[in-house]
A and B are shown apart, each in its own frame.
With several copies, the nearest count.
Chain A
Amino acid sequence: MRARILVRPKAGILDPQGKAVERALPALGFVGVSDVHVGRLIELEVDDASQLEAMCERLLANPLIEDYEIELTGGRGR
């Protein structure tokens, strides 16, 4: 099964990357952009989707500073 894990900085935790992007965009002429956050996207093929939660807790995310969200995206392949 194909799964997608979205890992983002926890609310309230400093997100220097998001801040950097937010500052860069207006200089390129893109206005009206706010609340930018940069996280990680992990996509994988997994036999047993019930393991995903534990995988996130233990390896894929750092629960102290990151939230994660698991999405099952169906069939094989990327």
Chain B
Amino acid sequence: MRFGVVRFPGSCDDVDAQLAASRVGDAVLLWHADRDLHGVDAVIIPGGFSYGDYLRVGAIARFAPVMDAVADFAREGGPVLGICNGFQVLCEARLLPGALLSNISLRFVCRQVELEVVNAQTSFTRACVPGERLSIPIKHTAGRYYAPPEQLEALESEGRIVLRYAPGHNANGSVLDIAGVINERGNVMGLMPHPEHAVDALTGSADGLRLFESIRDHCAEAARSPGLVGA
């Protein structure tokens, strides 16, 4: 299978995501100005500071030509994972509900945190065990997840809160300790923590690999039974 990692001007964790994904499959970079996804099986919108994070995080990147293609890909059920800035971009693009506000501390925070897998049945977490804890770093200034109350209720009741910060690990003030959410159809997920920086015990943890493996397994299954999309 092949992952495509979008590169915007100002993307920083694009190569990291590519390296991480290439541990479980092929991975190529997708240029922001290109409307073609070159036949990839899954898309990753990586972390960084697309367009300098100017105006509002993710606000400008969402209009890059490649995002039209990503939206089409998502509409057809293709798996899209947004990490950190990528999560912010997906929210701005309305491919995911909610928004990411500045951390309550107003500071950038880089820290290894513990996550709880709330839903292990998504295409992005199927290699995890429900309730399992993952050690994955965060690094961001605007990671406080917000959604209006009715939206939150829906997210919770539909199992769309996929990852939560474990008690004591919510460093940004996210509502309901939300670290990662998924769309209704189950094929677009965003999370603030960086699984691509947790793929090797040597650099801290290998727990993040589980997300990449999940996507790989999902794509393999989808390939075996065409027509199957989402979770």
Contact = CB atoms under 8 A, between A and B. Distances in A.
- Are chains A and B touching directly in their complex (CB below 8 angstroms)? yes
B55 A27 contact: no
A24 B63 contact: yes
Interface stretch (B37-45, B97-105, B116-124): B97-105
Nearest to A65: B99
Interface residues of B, number: 20
B92 interface: yes
Contacts, number: 51
Contact of B104 (A16, A59, A60): A16
A62 B56 contact: yes
A16 B63 contact: no
Contacts of B19: none
Main secondary structure of the interface of B (DSSP, over half): loop
B63 A27 contact: yes
B106 interface: yes
Contacts of A64: 98-99, 148
Contacts of B60: 20-21, 24, 59
A59 B63 contact: yes
Nearest to B149: A12
Interface residues of A, number: 16
A28 B63 CA distance: 7
B31 interface: no
Nearest to A42: B55
B99 A14 contact: no
A33 interface: no
Contact of B55 (A13, A28, A59): A59
B54 A20 contact: yes
A14 B54 contact: no
A17 B55 contact: yes
A64 B148 CA distance: 8
Nearest to B61: A24
Of the listed residues B59, B102, B104, the one surrounded by the most CB atoms of chain A closer than 10 A to its CB is B59
A44 to B, nearest CB: 12
Given A62-B92, A64-B99, A65-B101, A16 B146 contact: no
8 contacts: A14-B104, A17-B106, A21-B54, A24-B60, A24-B63, A59-B60, A59-B63, A65-B99
Given A28-B63, A64-B148, 17 more contacts: A13-B101, A14-B101, A17-B55, A20-B51, A20-B60, A21-B54, A21-B55, A24-B51, A24-B55, A24-B63, A59-B59, A59-B60, A60-B55, A62-B59, A62-B92, A62-B99, A65-B99
Interface of A: 13-14, 16-17, 20-21, 24, 27-28, 38, 40, 59-60, 62, 64-65
